[in-house]
Amino acid sequence: MLRIRGLRKSFGPNEVLKGIDLDVMPGERVAIIGGSGSGKSTCLRCINLLEFPTAGRIELDGKPVGKAAGADGSGAVKFSERELCDVRERVGMVFQQFNLFPHMSVLQNAMEALVTVKGMNRAAAREIAAQQLRKVGLEEKLDVYPARLSGGQQQRVAIARALAMEPEVLLFDEPTSSLDPALVGEVLRTIRALGDEGRTMILVTHEFGFAYHFATRVIFLADGVIHEEGTPEQIFKHPQKPATRAFIAQSAEFAF
């Protein structure tokens, strides 16, 4: 479904991603863990082309995204506006912050991209958005505005908004990091239900317990590279590399 080769991203002199190679199969649930500044969020934003890679290649469903500037296939990759729209339709993104329009109702938030990006008529967009909001348990909140919702409810609206575009891959960038602990569970249950549907998902998270039970594969990102990857059992219980062992031990130091 997704193939990444040699992905690099620099911000000025600071190279955040230093050569990421990643294959994601259809229906796979990949959890990315790592410390602050390791490049986790930047990796997701490059996949969705919210950030343009400095170097490297991305293929979606076997087809390259973008075109190398050099005639020999080398150099920075350029992306047309049509490609950017296509990738963002096919690769949904759920952010740490909910990024809802405060002046729009729950239903309007969920249907807006269908109208403005896909050009769908409002009646059809409304039906699809309502269906996805029902899926995340918000069928009674369609006419409510974001300010009247809890953080967990707002994040579920954001998930429904992403689902309404019918993406082939769903990206989650620490979707519970802005929530009170009491609200984390409702969002994680929603994500788990989506995984049970066989959706292809990449999740950046600090919720190790959830990642252990949810993911089919775990990637430990450190210093802009994939330091170690394997099954949840391998990474969380039997990591092979010292840096992975240290990170897991430190992060779980105060776990019950």
CA distance 111 to 120: 9
Q: Which domain holds residue 39?
A: 2-105+171-251
pLDDT at 83 over 90: no
Within-domain flag for 155: no
3-state SS record for 168-220: CEEEEECCCCCCCHHHHHHHHHHHHHHHHCCCEEEEECCCHHHHHHHCCEEEE
The average pLDDT across 134-161 equals 95
**pLDDT category of residue 67 using cuts at 50, 70 and 90:** confident
In degrees and rounded to multiples of 5, residue 109 shows phi and psi of -60, -45
pLDDT at 72 over 60: no
Domain count, the chain: 1
Within-domain flag for 153: no
* Bridge pairing between strands 67-68 and 225-230: unpaired
Structure tokens at 152: 């967990």
What's the CA angle centered on 44, arms 79 and 39, to 5 degrees?
A: 115
Structure tokens at 107: 């239903």
Within-domain flag for 82: yes
- Amino acid sitting at position 235: I
Within-domain flag for 146: no
First to last CA, the chain: 37
Return the CATH number at 239.
3.40.50.300
The average pLDDT across 189-203 equals 94
pLDDT at 4 over 80: yes
Within-domain flag for 182: yes
Within-domain flag for 70: yes
Of 60-69, 112-121, 212-221, least confident by mean pLDDT is: 60-69
Give the 3-state secondary structure of residue 18. Answer: strand
Is 207 in contact with 188 (CB distance < 8 Å)? yes
Q: Which letter, b or e, does each residue of 54-64 get, where b requires 16 or more Cβ atoms within 10 Å of its Cβ? A: bbbbbebeeee
Of residues 172 and 88, more confidently modeled: 172
The average pLDDT across 44-61 equals 92
Of residues 145 and 61, more confidently modeled: 145
Within-domain flag for 58: yes
Within-domain flag for 36: yes
Structure tokens at 143: 């006419």
